[in-house]
Amino acid sequence: MALLNILEFPDPRLRTRAEAVTKFDEELKTLVSDMFDTMYEAPGIGLAATQVDVHKRLLVMDISEHKNDPMVLINPEILSSEGEEEMDEGCLSVPGYYETVRRAEKIRVRAQDQNGEFFELDADGLKAVCIQHEMDHLEGKLFVDYISNLKRDRIRKKLEKQHKQAARA
């Protein structure tokens, strides 16, 4: 088991646009496994590679109650989306803050698995929200980008203060 360091807002590395995964090798499988360990330990329901400073198009999720439904999406693409939904979102890179974000209600996604095999899936509710949130990370986007500048600045200042205190401790 290996835990990876999760970058926190406003770390500029979170703004990196991730590149396509082209090699489906052992290194990728180790990364996926480490990302699951890191996500479950945090604990969180989703983690994008961007958040652990690996700028590849890869995300892991598990929205099940008993943490027994791991999902890996590599090079994910939204094929279609429908409706709108508002949900309170949090993020392991913005610890302690929750804000309402509006996203598509239903999505159809195409992605690859760890072996490079393509698959498609339909998602709604929390699963759809989580996939859209994690895919945003791969574009260098955070859920706080959807809220007012004033609120985002307030969160940024508080987290910066916490990071300084942590560095001193």
What residues make contact with Ni ion under the rule CB under 5 A? Answer: 91
The catalytic position among 8, 89, 99, 134 is 134
Residues in the chain, overall count: 169
Is 89 a known active-site residue? no
Amino acid at 118: F
Q: Name the closest residue to Ni ion (Cβ).
A: 91
The residues near 44 (Cβ < 8 Å, ≥ 6 apart) are 92
Q: Order of strands across the sheet with 106-112?
A: 46-48, 58-61, 71-82, 106-112, 118-124
Residue spans of beta strands (DSSP E) within 41-84: 46-48, 58-61, 71-82
By beta-carbon proximity to Ni ion, the closer residue of 24 and 126 is 126
By beta-carbon proximity to Ni ion, the closer residue of 53 and 116 is 53
> Shortest distance, CB of residue 134 to Ni ion, whole angstroms?
7
By beta-carbon proximity to Ni ion, the closer residue of 67 and 80 is 67
> Shortest distance, CB of residue 142 to Ni ion, whole angstroms?
7
> Shortest distance, CB of residue 31 to Ni ion, whole angstroms?
17
Q: Which residues are catalytic?
A: 134
